[in-house]
Structure 1
């Protein structure tokens, strides 16, 4: 039984080693890291497709027959007028304060305005709590950049989804 397994393994080893034999082709001696080894160099140019060079001709200018410029301009004006009426969108704000101390929220608001003057703040009061939200951001990344600037002032501030005002000044 062991003799049969040994013969089977030996024949399998011979079969695998003969399958890995190098292919026939031109050989060149290699002077690289392993002296005495030969490298096979194959010429694959016979398999590459050959194309004739095209004749250079000047193409005639083609004038468009259906002009849609006026139609596109009217459509774009319609879209622009609809977009001018949009005032709100879903976006992100930074919730900087949520508490009942009026003086604390006012002092925090002043320091945040001095740190990031270009960002608008929203102070709301729903009895008995004040909420201070900062900014109108379309993406969470924009909000995170401003949050990084004020994180030392308000370590517990967080980014919340909210309805934001769209700035039409541009």
Structure 2
């Protein structure tokens, strides 16, 4: 029985000590302040930096729109009369060279409608004349690889433009088909 009481007393003390508030002692220095307060002051000094040098600087404008400067004699006009700002002169030079190169490009991958394939020259010429009369905005191309004549029409930059004409051409030439081909860009832009 005595052993049972000692175990209960021990459990009671453990529970009581677990529920009690913890007390942290701090050493007091000779000046009368605790060490934790002095360490906070040291940390405050470390983080006391002037960061204003890293902030962006803007030109100040007065009510008239003129820029304020340190020298009052040298005030500039407002942004409305200034020349346009260039983000990067190297970028402008690269864009100029790309535009010059693009002006030299004459051909692109596109589509043409093949309306005739056969060995009869007269039938190939008739298909070409039909294109001139019915669709003046589309240019026909006649090619010959012995013994076959091929007539292809149009310079379509995308397939959807070729599909619009293909529906009408299919009525006159049932064997017509849309084929990928190399087309002239200037003529492709004119096709509507």
TM over 0.5: yes
Name the residue aligned to 2:174. 155
Which deviations, in whole Å up to 9, do the C-alpha atoms of 1:114-157 show, x marking residues without a partner? 11100111100111110000111111111111112322211110
**Match of residue 122, structure 1, among 136, 141, 159:** 141
Name the residue aligned to 2:156. 137
**Counterpart contact for 1:112–1:150, Cα < 8 Å:** no
Name the residue aligned to 2:93. 74
**Match of residue 107, structure 1, among 115, 123, 126:** 126
- Structure 2 Cα separation of the partners of residues 105 and 79 of structure 1: 41
Larger radius of gyration: 2
| Partner secondary structure for residue 172 of structure 2 | coil
What is the alpha-carbon root mean square deviation over aligned residues?
A: 2.8
- Structure 2 Cα separation of the partners of residues 128 and 67 of structure 1: 60
| Partner secondary structure for residue 76 of structure 1 | helix
Moved over 3 A (4+): 69-73
TM-score normalised by the chain length of structure 1? 0.56
Q: Which has the higher contact order (CA 8 A, sep 6+)?
A: 1
- Structure 1 Cα separation of the partners of residues 108 and 174 of structure 2: 27
Shift of 1:72: 4.3
| Partner secondary structure for residue 151 of structure 1 | helix
Shift of 1:74: 2.8
Q: Which structure's residues are more often helix, by fraction?
A: 2
- Structure 2 Cα separation of the partners of residues 112 and 130 of structure 1: 16
**Counterpart contact for 1:96–1:134, Cα < 8 Å:** yes
Report how many residues are paired.
110
Which deviations, in whole Å up to 9, do the C-alpha atoms of 1:54-80 show, x marking residues without a partner? xxxxxx88x8xx742654443322111
Unaligned residue ranges in structure 2 (runs of 5+): 1-59, 62-78, 80-84
